[in-house]
Amino acid sequence: MTVMQGSLAVRQRVVSAVGVALVLAVLTSCGASDDSRSALVLDASAPDGWKTIEYRGVQVEIPEGWTRSDVADCEFPFERWTPPRQPACSPDGGVAFYVSASFDPLHGPGVRHDDTGKDVPAWAGYVYAGDYAVYVADDDRDLVQQVLSSADATTD
């Protein structure tokens, strides 16, 4: 009987270790933020009132007033830049970077109007650039289109 109890204890440890490994793998594949943060691209030629940011080889032009969100305490800490006063953990508004391999959208790439009647930005969409899906949401359709059109994977 002691052999079976020891074997059961070993199985429980293995199952626990596999569970922890799976959770870490899911967080990594979903694009959870780590020390590799986005940054301004200082030598970029963004239009007046805009700036260029880069995240893991993907550059995007965003409005000058948008800032990097501190998502460290969010349930899903995706890299995000948002308009002023946007709650850090809110998925609505701004630009976010999702690992394209695990990104599962309801619609194809491009800009779509949100007609759900919920209190979310009127326009949203995404494009693929490099290993990421760049997702943008705002009440201004032209702004969403301009950000999406600027998304580009660097060749470095």
| pLDDT tens-digit series, residues 96-155 | 999 999 999 988 999 999 877 777 889 999 999 999 999 999 999 999 999 999 999 986
CB atoms within 10 A of CB 145: 16
Percent pLDDT > 90 in the chain is 53
Looking at the fold, whether 53 and 85 belong to one and the same domain comes out as yes
Looking at the fold, whether 95 and 138 belong to one and the same domain comes out as yes
Task: Please report, for the domain that includes residue 89, its CATH number.
Answer: 2.60.120
Looking at the fold, whether 16 and 86 belong to one and the same domain comes out as no
Range of the structural domain that residue 2 is part of? 1-30
Is the pLDDT at 15 greater than 50? The verdict is no
pLDDT for res 11: 57
Looking at the fold, whether 116 and 94 belong to one and the same domain comes out as yes
Looking at the fold, whether 65 and 13 belong to one and the same domain comes out as no
Looking at the fold, whether 91 and 19 belong to one and the same domain comes out as no
CB atoms within 10 A of CB 120: 15
From the number of C-beta atoms within 10 Å of its C-beta (0-12, 13-18, 19+), residue 125 rates as buried
Looking at the fold, whether 52 and 24 belong to one and the same domain comes out as no
Looking at the fold, whether 108 and 138 belong to one and the same domain comes out as yes
Count of alpha carbons within 13 Å of 104, Cβ hemisphere only? 3
Looking at the fold, whether 16 and 84 belong to one and the same domain comes out as no
Looking at the fold, whether 51 and 12 belong to one and the same domain comes out as no
Q: Count structural domains, the chain.
A: 2
Looking at the fold, whether 89 and 114 belong to one and the same domain comes out as yes
- Name the pTM for this structure: 0.73
